Amino acid sequence: MSKPVPPVAPQLLSIAAAATMLGTTEAAVRKWLAQRRLPVVKLGRLTRLRLSDLEDVVKHGLPTPGTHPRKPGAQ
């Protein structure tokens, strides 16, 4: 019998880790969040970014302010 595979949770990064990954400053990442150019995940008072969203930015660049696509299940 095979064991059931648990669902894969998205990898979440802090603003500092996201800035390092993108090669920019934390201030720039916060600015993009305020402009709604990056989707955000709020966990209580913590702000996190999905690794997959940052990989999209690396591939395609930043979207126009306020136009990042909503992912299914995103709030």
What does the pLDDT read at residue 54? Answer: 95
Domain that residue 30 falls in: 12-60
**pLDDT tens-digit readout, 25-39:** 999 999 999 999 999
**pLDDT tens-digit readout, 39-53:** 999 999 999 999 999
**Sole residue written with tokens 């095979």:** 2
Asked if residue 65 is part of any domain, the answer here is no
Q: HEC profile for 9-33? A: CCCEECHHHHHHHHCCCHHHHHHHH
What does the pLDDT read at residue 4? Answer: 75
- Mean local confidence (pLDDT), 12-29: 96
Nearest CA to 13 out of 60, 69, 52 is that of 52
Asked if residue 7 is part of any domain, the answer here is no
Asked if residue 39 is part of any domain, the answer here is yes
Contact in structure between 31 and 72 (CB atoms under 8 Å): no
Average pLDDT, the chain: 85
**61, amino acid identity:** G
